[in-house]
Amino acid sequence: MSDEVFLTGASGFVGRHVLDALLARGYGVRALVRSEVAPVQVDGCVAVMGDLREPGALMGAMRGCRYLVHVAAVYSFSPRERAAMYDVNVRGTRGLLEAARIAGVERAVVTSSSAAVGPARHGHAATEADWAHAGRRDGGYHASKVAQERVALAARLPVITVLPTAPIGAGDHRPTPTGQMVVDVMRGRMPATLRGGMNAVAVSDVAHAHVLALERGRPRERYIAGGVNLTLAELTRLIARAAGRSERVYRMPYALAAAAGYVDELRCRALGGAPRVPLEGVRMGREYMYASSDKARDELGYTTTAVETAIDSAVRWYRANGHAA
């Protein structure tokens, strides 16, 4: 069997960078692409049409692949997407891993999220030993990622999970919430932040962590792929500096942000669409989502790029692609 990888999520922000890292390492890649988003540029690999809601149908495409790297997920803060998130992120992951086992795949890397370890506790950054409270089945994106990771680690296939923090860099088309932060600051539309913090990381480092986990990770183990812990105000100032904007940051009272989030949640439930003030994001914004990547450094040889470099890359990419002046 050749060192071929079946990759899901190659058309997404993190997945595209994982694809580049795998190709640079010399792996052959078969990349799953959803039929409804075709055509998608996934140069350098074999594109496979399919749907994670029908994982059994992917078994034939996985035959002959030695590895699986599962990055794809439904990422949305829309209340109407919560059932789809559970179907794809949890049920889809369970079915995909079982189909991979039957197809003869030897080991898998599954992309989780640092939200699955929760916030810092008692002044200490979260580690792989921590688990966030999963909440209800309809609890939103982050709850679905906790459930997904538990399903992945319980699979009958050797699985390693990678838990990215907040990736920043070029190619964030959608953009992700962190990428939207960059765009908002570039456009002068982010006058205030909440009191919390996050761990920001270069997306290229996250991609490299997936390759390291595939080659060196221990089965049933979790590895946080993070960068540097920053308050939201500190991160905003770094983005503003890179974008040539004012570095003055104002603190928004949590009660005000939460009220806006609740109103927006009701609007989305009634009318559909994506929230402008995601309640899930507001709740996380008052937490210090600090995480430690010491385990990945010690066991995988994981290294990180300066977050300022990642921010500069993101700012240049957004300007070149017409997202901001």
**pLDDT tens-digit profile of 112-125?**
999 999 999 998 99
The number of distinct structural domains making up the chain is 1
- Let me know if residue 139 belongs to a domain: yes
- Let me know if residue 209 belongs to a domain: yes
- Let me know if residue 280 belongs to a domain: no
Between 252 and 37, the more confident residue is 252
Instruction: Give the separation between CA 135 and CA 115, rounded to whole angstroms.
Output: 13
Q: What percent of the chain has pLDDT over 90?
A: 70
- Let me know if residue 249 belongs to a domain: no
Q: Which domain holds residue 128?
A: 4-173+201-227+290-305
SS3 annotation, 206-227:
HHHHHHHHHHHCCCCCEEEECC
pLDDT (0 to 100) of residue 139:
67
**Structure tokens belonging to residue 212:** 């390291």
pLDDT (0 to 100) of residue 81:
79
Q: Say which residues have a Cβ less than 8 Å from residue 71's Cβ, sequence separation at least 6.
A: 7, 8, 9, 10, 12, 14, 15, 18, 111, 210
- Let me know if residue 215 belongs to a domain: yes
Give this prediction's pTM.
Answer: 0.92
Strand-strand pairing, 250-251 and 228-231: unpaired
Flag whether pLDDT at 89 surpasses 80.
Answer: yes
CATH number of the structural domain spanning residue 59: 3.40.50.720
- Let me know if residue 310 belongs to a domain: no
Task: Name the amino acid, one letter, at 79.
Answer: P
**Structure tokens belonging to residue 55:** 């994982």
Flag whether pLDDT at 82 surpasses 70.
Answer: yes
DSSP H or E stretch at residue 300: helix 294-300
Mean pLDDT estimate for the chain: 91
pLDDT (0 to 100) of residue 60:
96
- Let me know if residue 312 belongs to a domain: no
pLDDT (0 to 100) of residue 2:
64
pLDDT (0 to 100) of residue 177:
87
- Let me know if residue 282 belongs to a domain: no
Flag whether pLDDT at 38 surpasses 50.
Answer: no
- Using alpha carbons, select from 143, 12, 29, 116 the residue that is nearest to residue 73: 12
Instruction: Give the separation between CA 294 and CA 166, rounded to whole angstroms.
Output: 17
Flag whether pLDDT at 1 surpasses 50.
Answer: no
